[in-house]
């Protein structure tokens, strides 16, 4: 094997959940650029078909889109079967979808609020992992599963920086259900990595820190002040780890969590 090609994804069939989201679009473009065939999956029908035609106008790789609510077991099972039928194999799964966070003080959070986050981040991620892992375990070459966690799965938020914070001109914050689910993802990653190791399925997590988007200036300054590299991350800065874990370059890596946080967790 030429080392030049170790990051090449040509011939790999990859599923990306939450594809129409902020990071999902960057991930989709990068995976296609590295040669993958791509199944994009999301809840949002219109956004998904727009993304699909945009990607098809730029890339000649196989690209199919699937509307699926990952909290619905039946819908996940049918969708994954369809993807297998369309692509004939599944080499990589990227569990990137996330549910809505309900911004209320924790004392006022109801169980139904809590489940808006955890049903997607935990249960949905589990369901997609289960059906895809079952397929990968029957493939002689196994596969790679990449779970997208968050810095708040490993660190508590500094609630003080959220006081006057806005995202898209709406109040932003970080919730307990988000921290709970993102921490659980890292535990599940470790569990699945040892469970499916004998089937040559690698399971790893990526833990991004705060990524710059449409937050207000005050939040960006307050967040950046806490980061050794003194700034928020950029979506492009997650791509290296994503391609690495999807490709043969990481063939001996499983059960790990790659933290991309500008050093925030190093203090």
Q: Which residues bind ligand NAD (CB under 6 A)?
A: 17-18, 20-24, 42-44, 68-71, 96-99, 120, 124, 148, 150, 208, 210-211
Tell me which residue of 148, 94, 102, 143 sits closest to 121, measured CA to CA: 148
Q: Which is nearer to ligand NAD, 130 or 139 (CB)?
A: 130
Distances in Å between the alpha carbon of 79 and those of 41, 51, 66, 246, 249? 9, 18, 7, 21, 29
Q: Which is nearer to ligand NAD, 142 or 192 (CB)?
A: 192
Smallest separation (angstroms) from ligand NAD to the CB of 190: 18
Q: Which is nearer to ligand NAD, 68 or 188 (CB)?
A: 68
Spatial contact of 139 and 196, defined as CB atoms under 8 Å apart: no
Q: Which is nearer to ligand NAD, 201 or 206 (CB)?
A: 206
Look up tokens 């800065």; give the residue.
Answer: 237
Smallest separation (angstroms) from ligand NAD to the CB of 183: 12
Residue 258, both tokens: 């790659």
Smallest separation (angstroms) from ligand NAD to the CB of 208: 4
For 215, list phi and psi in degrees, rounded to 5.
Answer: -70, 155
Residue 122, both tokens: 């935990």
Q: Which is nearer to ligand NAD, 24 or 142 (CB)?
A: 24
Smallest separation (angstroms) from ligand NAD to the CB of 218: 16
Smallest separation (angstroms) from ligand NAD to the CB of 2: 32
Give the list of residues 6+ apart from residue 241 with CB closer than 8 angstroms, or none. Answer: 206, 258, 260
Question: How far apart are alpha carbons 92 and 194 in whole angstroms?
Answer: 17
Residue number, nearest CB to ligand NAD: 21
């Amino acid at each position: 094997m030429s080392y030049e090609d170790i990051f090449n994804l040509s011939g790999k069939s990859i599923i990306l959940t939450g594809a129409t989201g902020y990071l999902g679009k960057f991930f989709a473009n990068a995976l296609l650029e590295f040669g993958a065939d791509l199944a994009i999956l999301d809840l949002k029908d219109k956004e998904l078909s727009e993304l699909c035609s945009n990607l098809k106008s730029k890339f000649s790789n196989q690209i199919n889109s699937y509307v699926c609510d990952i909290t619905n077991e039946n819908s996940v099972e049918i969708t994954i079967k369809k993807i297998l039928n369309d692509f004939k194999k599944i080499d990589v799964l990227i569990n990137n979808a996330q549910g809505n966070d309900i911004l209320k003080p924790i004392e006022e959070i109801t169980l139904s609020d809590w489940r808006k986050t955890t049903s997607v981040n935990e249960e949905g991620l589990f369901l997609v992992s289960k059906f895809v892992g079952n397929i990968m375990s029957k493939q002689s070459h196994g596969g790679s599963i990449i779970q997208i966690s968050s810095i708040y799965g490993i660190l508590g938020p500094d609630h003080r920086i959220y006081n006057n914070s806005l995202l898209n001109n709406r109040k932003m914050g970080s919730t307990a259900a988000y921290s709970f689910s993102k921490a659980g993802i890292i535990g599940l990653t470790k569990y699945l990595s040892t469970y499916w190791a004998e089937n040559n399925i690698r399971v790893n997590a990526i833990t991004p820190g705060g990524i710059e988007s449409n937050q207000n200036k005050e939040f960006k300054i307050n967040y950046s002040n806490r980061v050794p590299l003194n700034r928020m991350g950029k979506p492009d800065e997650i791509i290296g780890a994503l391609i690495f874990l999807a490709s043969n370059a990481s063939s001996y890596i499983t059960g790990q969590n790659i933290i991309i946080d500008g050093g925030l967790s190093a203090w």
